[in-house]
Structure 1
Amino acid sequence: MVSVSGVRGIVGETLTPFEIVKFTSAFAKFCGGGKIIIGRDTRIHSLFISHLVSGTLLAMGCDVVDISVCPTPTLQLAVEHSDASGGIMITASHNPAEWNGLKFVSEEGIFLTPEQHKKFVDLVEKNSFKFAEWNSVGRYIQDRSFIDRHIDKIFQIDFIDVDKIRARKFKVVVDCINGAGSEAVPKLLEIFGCDVIKINCDGNGVFTHEPEPLPENLTELCEAVKRYNADLGIAVDPDADRLVLVTEKGEAFGEEYTVVQAVKIVLEKKSKSDSKSVVVNLSTTKAVDEIAKVYNAKVYRSPVGEINVVRKMKEVGAVIGGEGSGGVIFPDVHYGRDSLVGIALILQNLIEFGGRISEFKETLPKFEIFKTKINIENVNPDDVLDKVKEVYKDAGINTDDGVRVDFGDSWIHIRKSNTEPILRIIAEARTKKEAEELVKELRTKLGLK
């Protein structure tokens, strides 16, 4: 899988050492040499891939700063606040354990734009690289300070009341799936004065459940929140850019509502700002729109993919943005999905609200999302999307990313995944039953099982 989200594959099958060297060499050429920062998640094969990546970059004449195991947003911040010409994060994000990949970061500390991605892929396909002579290879440096720098940046958010959060003494259960957030997430919470109960925070790369932080994969966390009588539960994916919350009742807060709560607190605090724009992707809940109305803010929607949201945010000067998969993008810290930022915002929301997180959830607009997918190994996805456009030609449709059809208080979106060989179908309505009916109706009209 090669997309604006990076390169991913199954280690030893589609993601081989030859492929890793080829893509890394192309990125070194794309960056024009210079200093490149690399980081990795904890997958059992991430270390050997890191060695391959750093060795290839050195051979291309690049200096390498290896910041070791860290969240993807930490790597992005490291690149942004340095003189690096780019960065590579070794991770397959939420994909299963046998997968790994490379996320490529430009000198701005954001993922490659579609135009940059095309230029990069052209270099990959040409597969023509000039390696450095023996006395011109790059220098290798290790620097483990960036997690602390990331946390310090979050504590500089002007409206986060650290003293009040510390006084609340939240009890929090954290599930980092033994991934890249295993150090950073508990450390952030402890500095906020929380009583932290850690599960799957060894950082050993052994995933004890499916890595995508969906409710069906977080039963251990939900049970632990109830058992320890905690105030909330926190889960992140293996590279810790996505945040999912669990209420004190051991129930899912809803991954879509991670960004909703962020929009709420930021618009409230930025009410006097010249710009009150919000950007989310086409698959994100309409609850964002309803929150925005309260603060007289405008919502823009972009295609799915972090870089697409970031580009639109920069274009319109948005104060907050993100994706409904649990990704919060807050420009005051940096332009990237960041679970640590999301944690700080939910804690601030809770101290201002004063009650429990389940009660806070009840104050937010109520929508229900239903998500499913179609394996496209035996299906032409473009034919499916063309048929959707034909079937719903009389409705309001958006074709910026697949096809999204809006019906007032409900919508359905079908699109090709950036990270897996599937078509994603997402529907939202006021009730789960209505959302499921939208998907059922779509499948029937398309003749899909």
Structure 2
Amino acid sequence: MFGTSGVRGTVGDDVTAELALSIGRAVGSDGYERVVVGRDVRESGALLCDALTAGLRECGTDVLEVGVASTPTIARSIEPLEADAGVVITASHNPATDNGVKLWTPSGKAFGPKRRESIARRVETADYDLQPWDGLGWRRRESGVLDRHVRSLRKAVSIDDPPSVVVDVGNGAGGITARALSELGCDVRTLNGQEDGAFPGRPSEPTRETLGTLAAVVANTGADLGVAHDGDADRMMAVDDTGTFVPKDVLLALFAREAAREGEGDRVAAPVDTSLAVDDAVASVGASLVRTRVGDVYVAERATDDDVVFGGEPSGAWIWPSETLCPDGPLAACKLVERVAERGPLSELVDTVETYPIRRTSIEVADKDTVMDRVRERVADRYDEVDGLDGVRVDAGDGWFLLRASGTEPLVRVTAEAREGDRADELYEEATGVVDTARS
């Protein structure tokens, strides 16, 4: 039922009010006595919130409703409101047809596998602790969570010479970024600022392909940079002062290098598919990269280690553990603006990160589990440096390749990278050959 990003799917098919009611009952029955509930801008979120809240209250849990807000705003409100957990009704960067449920702990970290499995088991077996009339939980509307998040953002950065910024809200819940940057003194222009769960301005996920308008506005207005969010603003991507999309791995490298303290032996957490560009960027300041499974919950889990100062996924999820274990898109935007104000044009910062050729493809297979079992056998026989943390990652010294089964489709995803183009091609051919042999 749960993926690494919670429950997510098509409204009326995978995601229904009945499912939301069941999840609410399960959370309430699992010992969470006080829960924060909020949602992104999708219209379906209102009825799903009603159903989930009813399930929580049926099982004696008190509910603090915060309404429409960004996911990091909601996740960061759990601890100050002295709640045991938080629930966000969101499908994040998915299209308007979808919605979902994501569960959060007071630290800002999403529910991990054990917590998710416990909730899923209760839903699957209808194991609920329904209460009598005098044992029902109460519901209260909470205000002030947005103000609290803005104060946290302003406190987290210092901007002496505020630049001009274009904020593409994407019709989602990330308007808090424009407000925070304005209060920090920046000259802010917004795009797609009207909240609309149909996402009429652009697709919800911020990518090179979907941020064309943002790129054009930055280039044609002389703005210093542009930032963009997905529907619930847990992600943040950027456009530099020339109107050029900042590659995801480069943005990760910039954040990681800035977070690591020179000579302190700090570590940065990032998934197994992270580019060598990030390894080299953190190594340049004496830090190191520790790899995790793909998924922000796994990055956040590793970020709880004392020596991990930053965690990130190239998808646009950025975590500063000293602030919160929730990917916080507005915080990332403020941090990036701070860097530009201190260090100069974003395009010049991007040029300081050396990038390498990377090859990617997806191979359709009949039975991905069987194929991956065969892949593991073949790779173990042929290579010395093999990591099975998430899929199969082979370190070839001057490059690497990764073979991972898709979580939702009958595909094996192939990624290969090296510091030289010819070597990247060789590793790519080796990797696809391993999969082709395994599926034959």
TM-score by length of 1: 0.89
Match of 1:379 in 2: 366
Instruction: Assess if the C-alpha contact under 8 Å between 2:270 and 2:290 holds in 1.
Output: yes
Deviations 1:21-56 (A, max 9, x none): 1122112212x1411001111112111111111222
Match of 1:407 in 2: 396
Q: CA deviation at 1:423?
A: 4.5
Deviations 1:297-345 (A, max 9, x none): 2321111122211222223531111212112110121112111221122
Structure 2 residue 273 is the aligned partner of structure 1 residue 283: yes
Match of 1:40 in 2: 39
Deviations 1:263-306 (A, max 9, x none): 12222xx4475x61221111222222212212222321111122
Which stretch of structure 1 is more off in the superposition, 292-301 or 95-104? Answer: 292-301
Instruction: Assess if the C-alpha contact under 8 Å between 1:259 and 1:327 holds in 2.
Output: no
| SS in structure 2 at match of 1:383 | helix
Instruction: Assess if the C-alpha contact under 8 Å between 2:154 and 2:184 holds in 1.
Output: no
Match 1:161 to one of 155, 158, 161 = 158
Match 2:356 to one of 367, 384, 387 = 367
Match of 2:184 in 1: 192
CA distance in 1, matches of 2:101, 2:208: 27
Instruction: Assess if the C-alpha contact under 8 Å between 1:46 and 1:91 holds in 2.
Output: yes
| SS in structure 1 at match of 2:209 | helix
Which stretch of structure 1 is more off in the superposition, 384-393 or 10-19? Answer: 384-393
Number of residue pairs matched by the alignment: 435
CA distance in 2, matches of 1:434, 1:171: 41
Summarize the Cα distance change of 1:61–1:287 in structure 2 as closer, same or farther, 3 Å threshold: same
Structure 2 residue 204 is the aligned partner of structure 1 residue 211: yes
Match of 1:9 in 2: 9
Structure 1 runs, 4 residues or longer, greater than 6 Å off: 431-434
**Matching residue's letter, 2:184:** F
Summarize the Cα distance change of 1:420–1:72 in structure 2 as closer, same or farther, 3 Å threshold: farther
Instruction: Assess if the C-alpha contact under 8 Å between 2:45 and 2:89 holds in 1.
Output: yes
**Matching residue's letter, 1:203:** E
Match of 1:28 in 2: 28
Deviations 1:160-207 (A, max 9, x none): 323x1xx24x222222211121x2111122122222221112111122
Which stretch of structure 1 is more off in the superposition, 423-432 or 291-300? Answer: 423-432
Structure 2 residue 80 is the aligned partner of structure 1 residue 91: no
Instruction: Assess if the C-alpha contact under 8 Å between 1:265 and 1:345 holds in 2.
Output: no
Match of 2:288 in 1: 298
CA distance in 1, matches of 2:238, 2:390: 28
Summarize the Cα distance change of 1:69–1:379 in structure 2 as closer, same or farther, 3 Å threshold: farther
Gaps of 5+ in 2: none
**Matching residue's letter, 1:363:** T
Instruction: Assess if the C-alpha contact under 8 Å between 1:39 and 1:90 holds in 2.
Output: yes
Gaps of 5+ in 1: none
| SS in structure 2 at match of 1:80 | coil
Structure 2 residue 318 is the aligned partner of structure 1 residue 319: no
Q: CA deviation at 1:18?
A: 1.7
Which stretch of structure 1 is more off in the superposition, 286-295 or 414-423? Answer: 414-423
Computed over aligned residues only, the root mean square deviation of the Cα atoms, in angstroms, reads 2.5
Match of 1:261 in 2: 254
CA distance in 2, matches of 1:420, 1:85: 35
